Structure 1
Amino acid sequence: MTHALMLGLAMLVDAAMGEPPWLWSRLPHPAVLLGRAVAWLDRRLNNRTRGRGVVAGLCLVAGAGVLGTLLAQLGPVIEILAAAVLLAQKSLVDHVRAVATGLREGLPQGRHAVAMIVSRDTADMTEPAVARSAIESAAENMSDGVVAPAFWFLLGGLPGILIYKAVNTADSMIGYRTPRYENFGWAAARLDDLLNLVPARITALLIALTTGTIARWQEIAADARRHKSPNAGWPEAAMARALDIALAGPRSYDGQMRDLAWVNGPGRREIGPAQIDAAADLLWRVWAVATVATLALAGLGWLC
């Protein structure tokens, strides 16, 4: 069975099942296990130097690669199920929609829901700020939670997707410019940037093609290059134009306001639950296009 066919089936399983509580209340989720591995390396190796950070990154990549290779020997069913667990389409949409539901109940509920998916300060957010945060998270996580893992499974099978998830987890835990992690987390952050380079642009392209905004690709690219992240700006810029809204802009982290550039600045800024729901709907449309393309690629490989 080809990687394309296994990936297409895994995408369907993930969309149908998501992350069932009955399973992950009994077993540790792979993301939890990866987080524990990163935390163990942090405790053992972190002397705040880049060299030790590189060693930690190599250990993660090697360990994930070996584990993926061993699991792949168990057959295509295990590969499909493992890939489905490592994708995050349904859970992403569920978390994004929860913010819209929360906002309809009241601003405090919306702030609480969005705090589950973003790292910025949420206590003083206005309704438009909550909505922007949820939609930005939707765009960014469509890239690094769905398209990127799918891309690396397509190229490298189970070892490829596990390596990507290990690096992405490390970046989310130690890839920060703080005294403890600025040097030690440098390798994880740069490797994560590298592994997301192509998938982030594919995600933006899928959003633009799906919504008929491909004619604004130059604007998308210009905004993406002004973004604080070398990759997250691409899906965010595409999402902003697809919904005709402004994203990013000033926001607070750890009590400090940062004056960040707007994405699609002329777009609508007074947004709320309706725009969050529109973003969630768009996530499914992009997923559908990607899944059909993957299964078509599998069929083409079978015919050839």
Structure 2
Amino acid sequence: MTLALAMILDALLGEPKWLWDRLPHPAVLMGHLIGRLDQWFNSGPARHFNGILVMLGLVLLAIASGAILAQLGPVVEILIVAILLAQKSLVQHVQAVALGLGQSTQAGRAAVAMIVGRDTKDMDDPAIVRSAIESAAENLSDGIIAPAFWFAIGGLPGLLVYKITNTADSMIGYLTPRHAQFGWAAAKFDDLLNWIPARLTALMIIGPMAYASLRSDAAKHRSPNAGWPEAAMARRLNLALSGPRAYDGVMQDYPWVWPQGSSHGTGKDIQAACTVLWQTWAIALALVIAIGLL
């Protein structure tokens, strides 16, 4: 029941600002380590090989750290798992976009810029709504379902392997001139670790009856995994998601996911997405408890 208690604790407390203003969050520490490794090893003709070695080292470090921390007892284990989940904080960040839109488009842009990497300065209200909901769907998988899944499979070592891989992917797993070779291993391993959780997330969002029909929309996404929860959320809310967006001033003509849905979402749709986040969390919690009892 460690995982169930950790999920409940995270849902109740989220990310206490008073604590993380005084102590570095584990994800921040992981980010600092990966940043240093990027500086030290991302150079020369062997960047691809160096990136593989770095990921291997990070995985071994995560396994060893998880094994040591697991020896400190169930209370410490529950606290660590709760810290590395992100249900309440995800909902709060997504809801902040709806609250911002209720004030002005500019406030909505400022709020959504906190949770997406695309350009936000020229977004209209529907684009802000789409961005918030896409982030909600993707981070539901990355921030809650996948960490819970890998803890259930491999305990604290499994959870830490997932978190450090996901952090590495978010920092160096991009097809930029600097990271295309060095970050290749991080990106591919992250894709592998998210393959099952992304599809589980979609299944919990949309239900088994509609799940089989998601494949065509999920395949439109540039990510082999993120398209699944995004397609499920699009159908659940009957909204067209993804579509054209700008990165670093360059417009990217991405295809629409569920194009037959409405393209004029509002703050109410963001609130509806937050309801789906909690419903999916509840389904996951029920599954965890049921498996624990069995």
Under a length normalisation based on structure 2, what TM-score does the superposition of the two structures give? 0.98
Shift of 1:127: 0.2
Question: What does the per-residue CA deviation read over 1:95-114, in whole Å, with 9 as the maximum and x for residues that have no partner?
Answer: 00000000000000000000
- Aligned ranges 1:141-156 → 2 under 5 Å: 141-156=139-154
Query: Would you say how many aligned residue pairs link Structure 1 and Structure 2?
Result: 292
- Please state if 1:22 is matched with 2:18: yes
Equivalence for 1:89: 87
Amino acid at match of 2:169: D
- Aligned ranges 1:276-291 → 2 under 5 Å: 276-291=270-285
- Of 40, 43, 48, the match for 1:44: 40
- Aligned ranges 1:41-190 → 2 under 5 Å: 41-47=37-43, 49-190=47-188
Shift of 1:215: 3.2
Matched residues in 1 for 2:219 and 2:239: separation? 18
Equivalence for 1:266: 260
Matched residues in 1 for 2:268 and 2:98: separation? 7
Gaps of 5+ in 1: none
Matched residues in 2 for 1:255 and 1:179: separation? 17
- Aligned ranges 1:227-266 → 2 under 5 Å: 227-266=221-260
Question: What does the per-residue CA deviation read over 1:27-66, in whole Å, with 9 as the maximum and x for residues that have no partner?
Answer: 0000100001101111111126210000110111111111
- Please state if 1:32 is matched with 2:36: no
Matched residues in 2 for 1:169 and 1:110: separation? 26
Runs (4+) off by over 3 Å: none
CA RMSD of aligned residues (A): 0.8
Are the counterparts in 1 of residues 119 and 247 from structure 2 also a CA contact under 8 Å?
A: yes
Are the counterparts in 1 of residues 237 and 273 from structure 2 also a CA contact under 8 Å?
A: yes
Matched residues in 1 for 2:154 and 2:255: separation? 36
Matched residues in 1 for 2:110 and 2:2: separation? 37
Question: What does the per-residue CA deviation read over 1:148-202, in whole Å, with 9 as the maximum and x for residues that have no partner?
Answer: 0000000001111011000000000000111110000000000000000000000
Share of identical aligned residues, percent? Answer: 58
Are the counterparts in 1 of residues 133 and 270 from structure 2 also a CA contact under 8 Å?
A: yes
The secondary structure found in structure 2 opposite 1:226 is coil
Matched residues in 2 for 1:266 and 1:87: separation? 34
Amino acid at match of 2:33: A
The secondary structure found in structure 1 opposite 2:61 is helix
Question: What does the per-residue CA deviation read over 1:89-144, in whole Å, with 9 as the maximum and x for residues that have no partner?
Answer: 00000000000000000000000000000000000001000000000000000000
